[in-house]
């Protein structure tokens, strides 16, 4: 078993899983996840809602992925066949554990907003509702920051 899979199964890991390589295509990521998910489904998102997708938006739904020491549901979003977003769902009661682990790994959040705690230093966030961890690609973070800046200007 590859070392990164073994560490994923044995530890309460809170960093971005190595099996999620941003920019990778759907089929490559799907192959990496076959051993890590209890079930795996792929769905096409129509109409396209993701800001970078011009031709296709697809999502892999994986259940049973071990993250933070427990089996989780994970959603991986692909924009034009590039992995850009990883959502890892968790029960809201676990939010303090996620926040404290992220602070220990990444330092204080860059910002706390209604959406949640944003850790720009890690291209990550802990969302309030629904409760989930977000990891985003560099190109996705640029788009998200532009949207956030426009919202702040409007208020």
Q: Alpha helix (H) ranges present in 34-137?
A: 95-106
Rounded to the nearest 10°, the torsion over CA 137, 140, 146, 150 is -120
Q: What is the mean pLDDT of the chain?
A: 90
| Side-chain half-sphere exposure of 97, counting CA atoms within 13 A | 14
Matching residue, tokens 């011009």: 54
pTM for this model (two decimals): 0.88
The predicted structure's pLDDT at residue 124? 96
Q: How far apart are CA 24 and CA 18, in angstroms?
A: 12
Q: Output the pLDDT for position 19.
A: 86
Structure tokens at 24: 């990778």
Which pLDDT tens digit goes with each residue over 112-152? 988 899 999 999 999 999 999 999 999 999 998 887 777 76
**Rounded average pLDDT over 32-37:** 92
Render pLDDT for 82-103 as a digit per residue (tens, 0 to 9): 999 999 999 999 999 999 999 9
Instruction: Express as a percent the part of the chain with pLDDT over 70.
Output: 90
Listed range (44-53, 100-109, 144-153) with the worst mean pLDDT: 144-153
| DSSP character at residue 16 | P
Q: Which is more confident, 7 or 86?
A: 86
What is the pLDDT, as a whole number, of residue 155?
A: 54
What CA–CA distance (Å, rounded) separates 35 from 94?
25
Distance CA 127, CA 86 (A): 12
Closest residue by Cα to residue 83 from 67, 60, 66? 60
């Amino acid at each position: 078993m590859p070392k990164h899979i073994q560490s994923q199964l044995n530890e309460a890991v809170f960093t971005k899983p190595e099996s999620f390589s941003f920019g990778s295509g759907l089929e490559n990521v799907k192959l990496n996840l076959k051993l890590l998910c209890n079930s795996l489904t792929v769905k096409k998102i129509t109409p396209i809602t993701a800001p970078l997708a011009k031709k296709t938006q697809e999502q892999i739904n994986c259940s049973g992925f071990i993250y933070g020491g427990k089996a989780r549901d994970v959603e991986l979003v692909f924009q034009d066949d590039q992995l850009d977003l990883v959502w890892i769902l968790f029960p809201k009661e676990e939010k303090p554990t996620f926040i404290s682990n992220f602070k220990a790994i990444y330092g204080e959040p860059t910002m706390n907003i209604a959406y949640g705690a944003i850790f720009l230093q890690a291209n990550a966030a802990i969302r309030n509702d629904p409760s989930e961890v977000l990891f985003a690609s560099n190109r996705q973070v640029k788009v998200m920051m532009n949207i956030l800046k426009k919202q702040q200007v409007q208020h």
